[in-house]
Structure 1
Amino acid sequence: MEKKNRGFEVIRSYKDKAIRIPQRQTKYSAGYDIEAAETVVLPSFWKQSVYYLIHNTFLMIKGQETMKEDDLWQATLVPTGLKAYMMENEYLKIVNRSSGSYKYQTTLPNGIGIIDQDYYNNEKNEGHIYIQLINYGLKDRTIHKGERIAQGIFSKFLQVDDDQVVNSDRQGGFGSSG
């Protein structure tokens, strides 16, 4: 059997949903275009903000408890139906597509996402990659299944001298390392 170094696979629960494995679009592209596995609505940040201000002003006037900031301005997690495998000392960097921000006013709220090597096949979610997106446009935006929403770039990383690992085993899925 051929040794596999790095790549993408479809997770079990999406096997029958026609998920495409990410591909580079040109010979010199660094990133593999990642598609949405489902149709998802990204709420407008500005629409949410105006609603929050009006709603809370009305509630304050009536002397009622207001909405908490935690109730809005959440990034939307868009499922990809994918997981990624890679060699030790590698990670998958998730970055914006240039058209996301320029054409559609969507961005990754954390700038980039990091998929660690030990996220692959974890017990909590099989290593399912989700793309966090925020819509800073004026209107809600629908992302359709199959739409390219991010790029994945495999990269090496370096470790410091006398590297000390805090916890040797991943305990969960998305956002689980602390």
Structure 2
Amino acid sequence: MERHFERINGYTGPMPQRATAYSAGYDIAAAETVVIQPGKIALIPTGIKVKLGRYEYFELVSRSSLPRKRHLVMPNSIGIIDSDYYPHEIMGQFLNIGDQPVVINAGDRIMQGIFRAYMVADNDDAQGYRTGGFGSTDKENESND
């Protein structure tokens, strides 16, 4: 399995890149201009999707300067893109903690993504398959208990 980024149809902006040979994270830019009002959360489209291997996920983290310079934070601290999220677009959630609207312009680097491996318990028996996109696994075989 090859891990890589792909563009969503029609997206022509920058692809994720590492800034240096020893950078852990790939800088990810906004695909569209979005205004975030004070105290509000907005979803920022990126125009990209990521292909991952089995037992891998892509961790989204805020750029370290965003809270201080732009008054933006990720409300859940990080975002987890599971390998079965492909082929959906990566989206970032941001909360404006300031008292003025914040404009995120298309092309602004807003977060970083880090490829991660994970392990599962020896007695793991997960059987579902993702059928939806952002915010919910919407998996098949889900019980309503």
TM-score using structure 1 length = 0.74
Larger proportion of strand: 2
- Structure 1 residue aligned with 2:28: 34
Kindly provide the amino acid, as one letter, of the partner of residue 175 in structure 1: G
**CA displacement 1:124-158 (0-9 Å, x = unmatched):** xxx11110000101100000000000000000001
Larger proportion of helix: 1
1:102 corresponds to which of 68, 80, 104: 68
Please list every run of at least 4 consecutive aligned residues from structure 1 whose deviation after the TM superposition is greater than 2 angstroms. Answer: none
Kindly provide the amino acid, as one letter, of the partner of residue 78 in structure 2: I
Counterparts of residues 130-141 of structure 1 (less than 5 Å): 130-141=91-102
CA distance in 1, matches of 2:4, 2:62: 19
Higher Cα Rg, which structure:
1
Alignment RMSD (CA, Å):
1.2
1:5 corresponds to which of 2, 5, 28: 2
**How many corresponding residue pairs?**
138
Residue 176 (structure 1) shift: 2.0
- Structure 1 residue aligned with 2:58: 92
**CA displacement 1:53-102 (0-9 Å, x = unmatched):** xxxxxxxxxxxxxxxxxxxx4x2001101100011000000001001112
CA distance in 2, matches of 1:145, 1:156: 30
Counterparts of residues 70-149 of structure 1 (less than 5 Å): 73=40, 75-121=41-87, 127-149=88-110
CA distance in 1, matches of 2:55, 2:97: 35
User: Is residue 2:113 matched to residue 1:152?
Assistant: yes
Residue 168 (structure 1) shift: 2.1
Runs (5+) with no aligned partner, structure 2: 139-145
